[in-house]
Every structure is written in structure tokens, then in C-alpha cells.
Amino acid sequence: MKLSYNWIKEHVDISDSPETLAEKLTMTGSEVGSIEKVGDDTVMELEITSNRPDCLSMLGLSREAAAVSGADLNTPYATSCAPGKGAVSDMSVKCSIKAPELCPRYTARVIRGVTVGEVSAGISGRIGALGVRPVNNIVDVTNFCLFESGQPMHAFDLDKIKGGVVEVREAAKGEKIITIDGVERSLESGMLVIADKERPIAVAGIMGGKDTEVTSSTTNILLESAYFDPVSVRRTSRKLGLTTDSSYRFERGVDTSFVMPASERATSLIIREAGGKAGGLYDSGPYGSPPVEIHLDIGRASGILGISLDQEEVIKILKWLGMEVFSGEAGSVKVRVPSFRGDVSREIDLVEEIARIHGFGGIPDTVPRPAPWTPRKTRERKVLEKTKKILCSLGLSEIMTYSLISEEAARTFPGLCDEVVKIMNPLSAEHETLTPHLMDGMLKVISWNINRANKDLKLFEVGKKYSRVPGKAAFRESHMLAVGITGNVEKNWAEGEKQASLYSVKGVLERTAECLRTRFDIEPTDIEGFVNAAEISAHGVSAGFIGEVSPDKLEIYGISQKVFVSQVDLREVFSRAVLIGAYSPIPKFPFSTRDLSVLCDRSVTVSSIRAIADALGGDLLRKTDVVDMYEGKQIPPDKKSVTFSFTYGLLDRTLTDEEVEEAHSRIKEGLVSKLGVTFR
């Protein structure tokens, strides 16, 4: 909304410079975005919030300027031009409202004998400063009045209205109209139109029709001034994709009591600018609620704001704002709200008005009452924050990817994709589905970086996956952790390069679980799109997977190097994390280690060997580490050699060599008899 400084000076005795006024307006709720010199005028661009349609006119802004600067308002508004009132014989059209819900007030004034031409400099200068181009004296006057009073009006060429009828009605399905901008628009039932005997001649409150617009040959006009239902205008405007200065005001609500004064003002200006005589007037009659009266308890207002308000000041501020104030009991006032302030209907609304004119800057900064509890975070959040810290310390960087992806991308990994959730009004097919897994985001980021010559990547994301609860209008959002590792996990001049493997990803999960003092189990499984996939479960609950992305899937992302990934449900896998665990004493007596190289079939798993060692080692076996694994020429092709380091010990004494030897032999014998292994 533009404000012309010279224009409002006609209505308010303001002594503030434009800059000072701009500052005051900004600090009272009408933010001034820019100030610009236009000729000898100064024009400000204001952000008027949607609750203040009364500020969408120079008159309204004059009231606001008067209120914020304490200046006097003089509104020399021509409310009476005394045209031949109610002379029905002059009408020549019969007006009627067929949809009173959508148009509670309609007025139409006949003006005869006008000469269409250029408007005077006084009017073209005013609207020109606001960036409105002159059209002709009739249209320019209606535009002038719109900006002056905030009441949109429309002038029809009276002689082009067919059948002597003007109806305010809902459009019939299939009806069309070519609006003044030359666009043919298809109307729907529910849209409000002004129509003559044959066709719509205006989309009510939005734009007039081309057929009946005022042209240079027009001599008789019908001037419309009305109140249209805000919701109806807004719906129609959005459906047609057509927003005008008129619709913008109607959808926010114009002043119900100003429909007629604005019409009279426009009529007198048209006669002044274009000659002619006022003819008949159709007026459906006054519309509007009785004035709102509010009881304001000044003590309560003070309590809400945190200041001590003075009754005198409150009354002064409210009067500046155009409110009628009646003293009530001590400490309270009764306020009658003017019709142009439709946004003020409750005590709290008055509190806001007082606060903003008093100035938010004049309200102190206070500290609220002590917090009702000691500062705290939920366990879940602490686990999340710690998990992220651990992952970063392990060299992984965090990524954040869009939750909205294409449906195709969602279905790239059918094994990870439950029933997808789709957006009805997506911006594009690229972002139409709520992501059912974090793999698409991860692979896109890996691809992006590899394409920019960064091929060694260790990444993680904590994000949600979204799914539909089957058969219900309900949805599930789960916090997931995704890990992606590719290229070299280590690379330096001294130690050379170390390629990522599935164990790199598994190691990250193991270290994380270790730091959180929890654990997970892992078992081979099959998931489409992954090689060497394994299922991760925690405490018996399936919680995710790890795997190598299969080459055909990598190809979709244009990746030609191996990528190892994992996706786990954070809540499941770390549900039993321990943040502060009890201390266990450091062993006082030395432990003994025994290494053992086990030669076994390739199909024998390390976990099965561990299980036997755990069972047979009993209390004496403290720890089993894998220190080497060998497959190759020195052993048969179907065999592997795994070297373990077993640690034996007790907390209350040192084990004798014989005891260690006995336990170690027991494990060896067990491995031979149960798994048929040999030792190297």
C-alpha cells in the first residue's frame, strides 16, 4: 500500500517530516518499506497487515497518522452532493439483489450527460503519485475515490446495459465474461456477478466487463458502490487468479457505513470533472452491525502488558483512534468502536491498540516468574544429541535432505518403501512424495559430491521417514539414522589409502552403540537393491539394515564407485542407550591373553565361534577380539583363517597358567568338535 504524504496532509495537520512519520508508522504496526520522492510529493510503501483494511486508503492512513503523531484530523469529506435523491423515474434500469448473503448492500447512481475526457491535474497528480495511470475522467475519479476512501466503485456505460435490468446474482455454471483487461473468464456457480438481462457485466467486487466499460463515447453512466461479502470475493478472486485493488479491499472488508458517502463523493467529483447531472439512485438500504461496545478494565490491560496504564492516557489514545469513550466505574471505560475498525471487537483488541500507540518500546523488559521446573531435556533428545556427536567424532558429517522426493525415487528401493504419502498440490513431480526412506537423499548427496571431485565421503543424516498406516487415514513418522560411506575412509601420505567397506559402516554403528552402552544384533538378509545386506535388530526388534548399494541402483544416481549404507530406526536401535552408567572398577590383577588362529570353512561365522567361546570360557573369558582374517593362496580355497585374541582373567585374583591353559584348551576342543575347525 502506497501512502502519498501530500495527499494525507489534506486530511491531517501533520508537522512530522516524511521520515519521522515513517518511523512512527513502522513502530505502530504499519511497516514502511521504502520512502521515495515523486515530484514534489513523498510516497511511502507500507505493509498493511490483513486485519487493517481501514488503512488501505488515504483517509484511513490520515486517521492512523493522526493517532500515531497526536495531530488533529480534519476530514473535509463531501458526504452530500445533493443529487436528485431517489428520483426513480430517472433510473431507467431496475436494480435487484438476488444473492443478499453475498451482497448485503448495493447502490447504483445514474449520472447523465457526462463528457468523457481527461481528468484534471489535481486528480491525475494524486493517483499518479501512487503509480496509477490515468484512463479517463470517469474511471480516474472512481480510482481516486478508492484510494481516498478505501471504497471500490465501478462505473458502467448505462446505455450498454441490456434489458433495463441490473441484477446482483450468482453466476450460472458455464457463463462467461470478458473483463476489462480483455481476458475471457469462465464463471462458476457461487461466484457473484452483476448482470443485465442477458449476461454478466461485472465480476462483483473484482473487475467490470469489457462490454459495458466507460469509453470515449459514453454519455450516461451507472455508478456502483456496494458491500460484497469478503469470503465470496476472496474465493472468486483466487479461483479466477485475479486480484485487483478492488478485490484486495473487499476481501479484507470495507467500511459498511461508507458505501453511500463514497458514492456521493464520486458523483460530485464526476459532475465536476465530466459535467452531467446526477440522476436516480438505487440503494438496497443500510447494512452493518450496530456499533460494537467494549468494556475495558484498565487494571487488566495493565496486567497483560506489564505496565501501569493511566486512565487519562488510555482515554486520549482511544480517542485519537476514533473511538468514542465513555467513563465507566473507576479503573474502567466503555468504548464504542467506529464502523471502520471491524478488527476491534474484544477487550484484548483494545489492549493491543493502547499498547501500539503507547509504543512497545515504552513497555519494559521483565523476567517472567521463575521457571516451574529445572532446565531439562528429554532423554530421547539427549540420546539424539549424543549420537550425532559420536558420529561426528567418528569422522562422519551430517547432511540434511528434502523430505519431499519424487515417487519414482521413493520406489527405487521397494524393500524400504511402505505405502507412500503423496502431496495433492506438489510444486513439481520432483517433490510430490514424502520420503519413505533416507536412501534417495543420501545417494543424491553422494552423487553431487562425487561429481564435484569429492569422492571420499562419510556422511550421516538424522531425518524422518513417512508412511501411511495401511487402510487408515493415519500416518506414521519415524526418526531414522542413515549412514553412507564411499571412497577412501583413510588417506594420508604415511599410511596410504584405505578403501571403505561394509565393515566401515558396521564399525560406525558398533562404535556408536558402544558409546551409548547398548548393542545390536546383525543377521544376513536380502533386500532388493543391496548386496551383502544384513538386518540389524536391537533387543529382538528389527531396527534397520546395512548393505552395499547394488550397481544397478548406483547407476540411477550416476555413481560408479562402491557405496556402503545403513538405515536404522533411531528409537529402536538406541532405545536402551545408557547416558550415565555406573562405574565398574579397574581390574587389580593382570589378565592373560592367548592368540588362536582358526582355520575353518568360509561358511562358518565369527559369531558362531564367539558363541562357543563364550559358552565354554565361562567367567574366566573376559574378552574375544578378532585380530586377523586371511583368505588366499596359503590355505585351501574353501577355507578362511581367523585369528582371535582371547583375554582371560578374574577380578579377585591372578589366574595361574594352568587355569588359563585349561580354559583355552576347553574352547579349542569345543571349536573342533562343534565346528570341525583346525588350528594353524
Partner 1 sequence: MSVLDRIKEIDKEFEAEAGKDITAAGLDGMRVKFLGRKAELTGILRSVASLPADQKKDTGKAANMLQRKISERLEEMGKRLAEEKRRDRDEIDVTMPGIAASPGVPHPLTQVMDRINDIFVSMGFIIADGPEIETEFYNFEALNIPLDHPSRDAFDTFYIEGEHLLRSHTSNVQIHLMQNTRPPIQAIMPGRVYRPDAVDASHSFMFHQVEGLMVDKGIRFSDLKGTLSGFCGAMFGKDTKTRVRPHFFPFTEPSAEVDISCIICGGKGCRVCKSSGWLEIMGAGMVDPLVFEKVGYDAEKYTGFAFGMGVERIAMLLYGIEDIRFFYENDIRFLGQFK
Minimum separation from the CB atom of position 146 to partner 1 (A): 18
Minimum separation from the CB atom of position 248 to partner 1 (A): 9
Asked if 573 contacts 538 with a C-beta cutoff of 8 angstroms, the reply is yes
Sheet of 332-337: strand order equals: 292-297, 332-337, 324-327
Binding residues among 284-313 for partner 1 as defined by CB under 8 A? 303-307
Strand pairing report for 207-208 and 324-327: unpaired
Which residue stretch of 95-103, 217-225, 319-327, 453-461 sits at the interface with partner 1 (rule: CB under 8 A)?
453-461
Minimum separation from the CB atom of position 496 to partner 1 (A): 11
- Residue 452, interface with partner 1 (CB under 8 A)? yes
Minimum separation from the CB atom of position 295 to partner 1 (A): 14
- Residue 28, interface with partner 1 (CB under 8 A)? yes
Minimum separation from the CB atom of position 33 to partner 1 (A): 8
What is the rounded distance in angstroms from the CA atom of residue 165 to the CA atom of residue 382?
73
Q: Using CB under 8 A, pick the residue from 349, 440, 548, 569 that binds partner 1.
A: 349
Asked if 316 contacts 300 with a C-beta cutoff of 8 angstroms, the reply is no
Asked if 157 contacts 91 with a C-beta cutoff of 8 angstroms, the reply is no
What is the rounded distance in angstroms from the CA atom of residue 639 to the CA atom of residue 600?
5
Closest to partner 1 by CB, 161 vs 309, is 309
What is the rounded distance in angstroms from the CA atom of residue 221 to the CA atom of residue 266?
12
Closest to partner 1 by CB, 58 vs 399, is 399
- Residue 326, interface with partner 1 (CB under 8 A)? no
Helix axes 311-320, 58-69, angle to 10 degrees: 160
| The C-alpha cell that represents 547 in the structure block | 548393505
Closest to partner 1 by CB, 336 vs 571, is 571
Minimum separation from the CB atom of position 72 to partner 1 (A): 23
Q: Using CB under 8 A, pick the residue from 367, 580, 582, 586 that binds partner 1.
A: 367
Minimum separation from the CB atom of position 475 to partner 1 (A): 4
Which residue stretch of 100-108, 160-168, 273-281, 460-468 sits at the interface with partner 1 (rule: CB under 8 A)?
460-468
Q: How many CA atoms lie within 13 A of 173 on its CB side?
A: 0
Here's the x/- map for partner 1, 405-444, by CB under 8 A: it reads as: ----------------xxxxxxx---x--x----------
Closest to partner 1 by CB, 515 vs 527, is 515
- Residue 448, interface with partner 1 (CB under 8 A)? yes
Q: Using CB under 8 A, pick the residue from 106, 144, 227, 460 that binds partner 1.
A: 460
CA distances from 67 to 13, 43, 354, 359 (A): 11, 19, 11, 12
Closest to partner 1 by CB, 431 vs 576, is 431
Q: Using CB under 8 A, pick the residue from 6, 92, 339, 403 that binds partner 1.
A: 403
Binding residues among 462-521 for partner 1 as defined by CB under 8 A? 464, 466, 473, 475, 477, 490, 492-495
Which residue stretch of 73-81, 106-114, 398-406, 524-532 sits at the interface with partner 1 (rule: CB under 8 A)?
398-406
- Residue 330, interface with partner 1 (CB under 8 A)? no
Minimum separation from the CB atom of position 131 to partner 1 (A): 20
What is the rounded distance in angstroms from the CA atom of residue 281 to the CA atom of residue 269?
16
Minimum separation from the CB atom of position 548 to partner 1 (A): 21
Q: Using CB under 8 A, pick the residue from 27, 38, 73, 527 that binds partner 1.
A: 27
Closest to partner 1 by CB, 89 vs 366, is 366
Binding residues among 371-390 for partner 1 as defined by CB under 8 A? 371-378, 381, 385, 388-389
Q: How many CA atoms lie within 13 A of 168 on its CB side?
A: 24
Binding residues among 102-161 for partner 1 as defined by CB under 8 A? none
Minimum separation from the CB atom of position 511 to partner 1 (A): 12
Closest to partner 1 by CB, 250 vs 648, is 250
Which residue stretch of 220-228, 366-374, 539-547, 588-596 sits at the interface with partner 1 (rule: CB under 8 A)?
366-374
| The C-alpha cell that represents 599 in the structure block | 582355520
Residue 27 CB neighbours (<10 A): 15
Q: Using CB under 8 A, pick the residue from 202, 318, 396, 600 that binds partner 1.
A: 396
Minimum separation from the CB atom of position 401 to partner 1 (A): 6
Strand pairing report for 457-468 and 397-398: parallel
Which residue stretch of 46-54, 190-198, 573-581, 656-664 sits at the interface with partner 1 (rule: CB under 8 A)?
46-54
Question: E strands along 409-525, which residues?
Answer: 421-422, 433-434, 457-468, 475-486, 488-492, 496-499, 521-524
Concatenated DSSP letters for 579-617?
A: SSPPP-PPPSS--EEEEEEEEEETTS-HHHHHHHHHHHH
Strand pairing report for 496-499 and 488-492: antiparallel
Over 436-469, what HEC string results? CCCHHHHHHHHHHHHCCCCCCEEEEEEEEEEEEC
Tell the residue number behind the cell numbers 579349542, with chain if given.
668
Minimum separation from the CB atom of position 434 to partner 1 (A): 7
Asked if 520 contacts 513 with a C-beta cutoff of 8 angstroms, the reply is yes
What is the rounded distance in angstroms from the CA atom of residue 77 to the CA atom of residue 18?
24
Minimum separation from the CB atom of position 393 to partner 1 (A): 5
Minimum separation from the CB atom of position 48 to partner 1 (A): 9
| CA 39 remoteness from chain centre | 40
- Residue 51, interface with partner 1 (CB under 8 A)? yes
- Residue 561, interface with partner 1 (CB under 8 A)? no
Closest to partner 1 by CB, 206 vs 598, is 206
| CA 614 remoteness from chain centre | 55
Closest to partner 1 by CB, 55 vs 91, is 55
Q: Using CB under 8 A, pick the residue from 183, 363, 579, 672 that binds partner 1.
A: 363
Minimum separation from the CB atom of position 303 to partner 1 (A): 7
Query: What backbone torsions phi and psi does residue 50 show, to the nearest 5 degrees?
Result: -70, -10
Helical H runs in 195-253?
230-240, 245-252
Asked if 491 contacts 456 with a C-beta cutoff of 8 angstroms, the reply is yes
Element (H, E) at 298: helix 298-305
Here's the x/- map for partner 1, 219-258, by CB under 8 A: it reads as: -----------xx--xx---------------xx------
| Count of residues interacting with partner 1 (CB under 8 A) | 91
Q: Using CB under 8 A, pick the residue from 257, 449, 561, 645 that binds partner 1.
A: 449
**Which residue from 674, 524, 671 is spatially nearest to 599, judged by alpha carbons?**
671
Minimum separation from the CB atom of position 398 to partner 1 (A): 4
Q: Using CB under 8 A, pick the residue from 294, 404, 538, 600 that binds partner 1.
A: 404
Q: Assign 641 to helix, strand or coil.
A: strand
| The C-alpha cell that represents 328 in the structure block | 465507566
